[in-house]
Amino acid sequence: MELTMAVNTHALFYTTKAFVPTMLENNHGHVVTVASIAGKVGVSGLVDYCASKHGAIGFHESLTAELDALGKDGVKTTVVCPYYIDTGMFDGVQTKSPTLLPVLQPQYVVDCIMEAVLTNKEMISMPRFNYFVMFAIGSSNMSTFFQPSQIDPSSVINNFQPIANRRLTRRQRLFGW
């Protein structure tokens, strides 16, 4: 639980403290918060993960409001709410509806984030079906729809290896993917 919160929520504060002051001085920059659809819709067995991503969304909303209150219109923000990404963190996960909710490829997510930054989108979610989910948030069926069919909740963060600890190809070391 502590590691999940440290990685998904607390790290946002440290990153912001390190980079946003210079962005404010220059009134230029872009902060991208990687959250999750799990920050909008709770999933059984992933309480700590969902809570940490909900915290990331709250962090993003508050940071955006603070930048607006400061009149810093050159510092932009984007929050990213993807479904599962094939990073190794959720190895073995199978979705109930691969057509509507496929496990996303990292490069696709990177491309979507880059487009969002370049076009100053405030929020992106992928796959597109997530937008329907956010519209229909009040439905009790949505959390069960998002529940993957195979996942060991206790192994999600416990077995996660940071990229620095994994065997990477030369391309992954050079380009991050």
Q: Which residues are catalytic?
A: 49
Cis peptide before 98 (omega within 30 of 0): no
Phi then psi dihedrals of residue 35, to 5 deg: -105, -135
User: Which segments of 70-105 does DSSP mark as H helices, in order?
Assistant: none
User: Crossing angle for the helix pair 47-69 and 11-26, nearest 10 degrees?
Assistant: 20
Please give the structure tokens belonging to residue 73.
Answer: 């219109």
Cα distance between residue 137 and residue 139, in whole Å: 6
DSSP string of 11-49, one letter each residue: HHHHHHHHHHHHHHHHT-EEEEEE--GGGTS--TT-HHH
Please give the structure tokens belonging to residue 153.
Answer: 């909740």
Residue 143 CA: distances (Å) to CA of 1, 32, 81, 117? 21, 25, 15, 29
